[in-house]
Each structure stands twice: as structure tokens, then as C-alpha cells.
Amino acid sequence: MRETGIQMNKLINIDEYPVRNVLKMLLSDKTTGQNIRFATDAYSDAGIRAKTQITEEILFGSDPLLLQPRVCKSLSEQADRTKKKAEVFTPAWICNKMNNHCDTEWFGREGIFNTEREQDWEPTSDPVPFDSKKTWQQYIDSRRLEITCGEAPYIASRYDAATGEPIPVGRRIGILDRKLRVVNENTDNERDWTRWSVRAFQSVYGFEYQGDSLLIARINLVMTLAEYMQERWGKAPDLSLVTKIANIVAWNLWQMDGITGTVPYGMPVKQITQYSFFDNVQVEQEPKPGDVDCMIYDWRSRRPVTYRSIKKE
């Protein structure tokens, strides 16, 4: 097995429900119609190039790749990724502080979701207050973007990205976590809960260059759905809901060069299979030249748009 560090608390498990059932969708690149790329040299010892697309065959083949969060990787690899791609994951208490600032701006007052206590926080016990000018539905639909999102700790705080320590549902502080808390507090049946949870997922966005981090971010969002469903309704989400959420996540968390707004390495050519007497190996041809603008989805107008066009608005 190709391993790059130690596995901690099984934070990311691609071989169980619901992730395994929608993994193909989570690997997809909505802009190119193919798969996201590794976009890192971290797996070069295993013969994987930065331009290689991440596939189920690589993750589950005869020599499977161990997918794990940054905190579980070796210190040397963490340092290398920091040096090459400025990859530094923020502790949960700082994510909370910054998300609190955004919510203070939105609500016009402090202490909405929790009270900060040095490098910790205490969740508020009362429901989040709204009025006729700032409704809970408007909060769910308010769109938020985490740039260079890595494993998306600002969006979904399943664990502290700096330590790997799991965070219970009731103490989570991510952007999506806050929206789902509001959904919990303002719906009293599963149908309405599901409807507004879907809208919450549609309202959070993030982009990342490195494909393995992006895949983990997407998995974190799908697992967030499962964990909130279990917490609220005592059951796992059915496959139709998981599939719907996975499609949203594949659109809303996308692979992009944040400087150019384009797909890393340009448009790939479909992988071809080369057969030998003993085995078969998938080989990706060189990408087509030219930049490809990244596409995202506007769920309210129900149409895909380029990220570049959104920046110009």
C-alpha cells in the first residue's frame, strides 16, 4: 500500500457509505467533464505525476493510494507542500474567529453562534435570533466562498485541521455548520429540513489547486450531511439525497489556479489504456494547449457560469 503518513481516527474513509457510493461524482471536474488532477508531486514515488487525474483505479487498485488529511502526512511532506504551494491549514479556533467576524457583519452584532475563549469557544445555547429584516432563510441562502480552501476547514469543521482532533456536531463552527444549525432550529420535519439543508449546501463555495486536498474537502462536505442527518433524525441519508448533495459539492468545490481562474494544466485528453502481456496501465496523454476558464453553478438562476464572470460583477 502506498502510504504517506499515519492514519488518524479514520477522518477520511473512502470505502464506506456514503462516500464510496458517490466517489466517482466527487472525483469529477465539472469544467472538463473528466476528473480532477493530483496537481502535486507528493506521489511521484508511486509514479503519479501532477497532471495525472485521480481515479477510482488509483484509489482502490492493486496498490491503493492512502488518502489522508494534511495533519496525518509526514512532517517532511507537510513542509514540502507549504514551500511549493503555500499550504498551511488554520487551527479551528482561528477559523471560528474569522467566521464570527463575517457573521458579525451580516447580523450587525457579536456573539451569534458562540463566545470566544482564548483558543477555544463556547456555543450559544439559545436559538440564533432573526427578525423580519434578517430572516433565517436569507441567512441560509447567503453565498460564501472559501478561497484556496484546502480541506475546507472554514466551510465544514469536522475536525481541527491543525491537530486532527474530531469536533462534535454541536460544537462545529464552519460556514456550512452554522447554516445547518439554523436549519435545525427552524424546521420541525424532515422534508423541510432536507429542503433547506440542500439550499445550505448550494450556498457555500470553495476552490483549491491540489487535487488530493480538494477531494478531501468534498468528502468532508458529504460526511457533514451524513453526520447532521444522524444527529437530527437518527439515520443515514438515503442515496438519492447523498447523490444530490454530491453533485452540488462537485460543482461548488472546484479545482482552479486561483491566479488565472483556469483549470490547472489546461484541458486534459481522455486517458487511454495501454495493454501489455502482463497487465494494463492507464496513461494520460498531454493536455490540449490553452487556458480553460473554470465553470461553477448558480443554483438560484439554474445555470453554469464562469468564475471569471462572477469576479467581474
Strands (E), 25-128: 114-116, 121-123
Cell numbers found for residue 55: 481515479
pLDDT band at residue 4, thresholds of 50, 70 and 90? very low
pLDDT of residue 46: 87
3-class SS of residue 18: coil
Question: Is the pLDDT at 1 greater than 80, yes or no?
Answer: no
Count the helices and strands in the chain (H runs, E runs). 10, 9
pLDDT of residue 299: 97
Mean pLDDT of the 286-298 span: 78
219 or 88, higher pLDDT: 219
Q: Is 138 exposed, middle or buried (0-12, 13-18, 19+ CB in 10 A)?
A: exposed
- Cβ atoms within 10 Å, residue 133: 7
pLDDT of residue 247: 98
pLDDT of residue 66: 78
Question: Is the pLDDT at 254 greater than 70, yes or no?
Answer: yes
Domain ranges of the chain: 19-312
